[in-house]
Chains A and B, each alone.
Chain A
């Protein structure tokens, strides 16, 4: 990955934009919407979608492999400096999401609307798995037994079949896929409009 001065400055700008959103809007939303209140679309999903809009617009300005990862790393480091102490879990999430977005862009080869939608979807999809990944890292695989126990207990209490639980999980994934695709689509629209405006 070799970036020019211009590339690095643009990367810094888009990293700062995502970082500013995380430090202000992200902290505020986490405060007013605790994770248990919003299980279907959590604050993480909203913030990742906004972050992807910023990072993917950045990709249009720095059309080089690795630029989204660099934007993600800068955002993660800025997040470390935000109020609220150790935020290693969200920092890790931001870096993994930017890696997944980069993978999506790599799979689509040429920058396109659908490529951006794929990158956004992959990144936002991680918000669902991050909680389980984080739990595994912090607490070990025993926590999965707890999750399954809670799921079975919930199914028993509501008197519904286990298949409904899977449908709910599928719904969670679908919502994230659509939200991420929308973020990618929006990033393409805004990015192209900005480029057209700046070219005048």
Chain B
């Protein structure tokens, strides 16, 4: 279910391909790093609008208390520790300069967090895998498929071996040796299971070098988005 939510299995309709979302992701992060002052407010507005419109209205991090705690602590600490203290509240010296620096840092944090969430929500794991394969990590898709299927098996193996060792009085003495036994048992079991997968793949004449589904070409929507964002760079930095 989580995998479906994360986009591993889904093929939902989106206005842009992987390239559109990648362009937006890189654009937001680059501008968040370089922009200062009022430009950051505009950038935040654009990022919130894009996330809300083109990512099924998900603006998830903003709804988390932990995220707001991070922002509040950044604002508070910078007001306390940056710049000259000009005001005093409850015996604590506060600096307006520190407040503005902190606000800039907080805005930057919100923009980057939103850009990351939008990218990870909009782009499926399969597409990310293709992206990695395109940059030279051949066979990653196959390895990832095997890994997904192996996780429950490995968890079960770890549990079984751990319980078997514990019931035989393990971990009471010679803990390092017991730990080594546990690690060896898990690795040996998993490797043997892996050998069966290799045999099955070879019996089906699987070849990791065979051309697999390639990345999609950028669409007109991606190009239009790219042009719009490029104009945005000129307006925000000009």
Is B38 part of the binding interface, using a Cβ–Cβ cutoff of 8 Å? no
Contacts of A23 in B (CB 8 A): 151
Collect the chain B residues with CB atoms within 8 Å of residue A53's CB. Answer: 183
Q: How far is the CA of A132 from the CA of B236 in the complex (A)?
A: 28
Chain A 145-162 interface residues, beta-carbon cutoff 8 Å to B: 145-146, 148-150, 153
| Residue-wise interface mask of A (82-95) relative to B, using a CB-CB cutoff of 8 A (1 in contact, 0 not) | 01011010000000
Report whether A19 and B138 are in contact in the complex, using a CB–CB cutoff of 8 Å.
no
Measured between beta carbons, the chain B residues less than 8 angstroms from A3 are 138-139, 208
Q: Which residues of B contact A194 (CB under 8 A)?
A: 184, 187-188, 191
- State whether A86 touches B194 (Cβ < 8 A): no
Closest to B83 in A: A145
Residue of B nearest to A150 (CB): B81
Known interface pairs A15-B143, A86-B117, A146-B77. Does A198 touch B105 (Cβ–Cβ under 8 Å)?
no
Instruction: Output the least CB separation between A155 and chain B (Å).
Output: 13
Scan residues 107-145 of chain A and give those whose CB is less than 8 A from a CB of chain B.
137-140, 142-143, 145
- Given contacts A5-B208, A74-B140, A198 and B109 within 8 Å (CB-CB): no
- Residue A74 contacts which of B2, B147, B155, B209 (CB distance < 8 angstroms)? B147
Tell me if A138 and B109 are in contact (CB < 8 A). yes
With A9-B201, A86-B117 in contact, is A19–B183 under 8 Å at CB?
no
A142-B78 contact in complex given A6-B198, A9-B194, A80-B6, C-beta closer than 8 Å: yes
Chain A-chain B contacts (Cβ-Cβ < 8 Å), number: 170
Contact of B151 among A5, A20, A153 (CB under 8 A): A20
Q: How far is the CA of A9 from the CA of B142 in the complex (A)?
A: 8
Choose the segment among A164-172, A173-181, A185-193 that binds chain B (4+ C-beta atoms closer than 8 Å). A185-193
Q: Flag the segment in B124-132, B214-222, B227-235 that touches A.
A: B124-132
Contact call A16/B147, Cβ cutoff below 8 A: yes
Smallest CB separation, B100 vs chain A (Å) = 10
Among B158-183, those with CB < 8 Å from A are: 158, 180, 183
Q: Which residues of A contact B206 (CB under 8 A)?
A: 5
- Asked, given contacts A153-B81, A194-B184, whether A61 binds B191 with beta carbons under 8 Å apart, the answer is yes
CB distance from A26 to the nearest CB of B (A): 13
Within 8 A of A (CB), among B64-113: 64, 74, 77-78, 80-82, 101-102, 104-106, 108-109, 112-113
Alpha-carbon separation in the docked complex, A150 to B77 (Å): 8
**Residue of A10, A86, A143, A190 touching B183 (CB-CB under 8 A):** A190
Chain B positions within 8 Å of A, measured between CB atoms, are 2-3, 6, 8, 33, 60-61, 64, 74, 77-78, 80-82, 101-102, 104-106, 108-109, 112-113, 116-117, 120, 125, 128-129, 132, 136-140, 142-148, 150-151, 154-155, 158, 180, 183-184, 186-188, 190-191, 193-194, 197-198, 201-202, 206-209
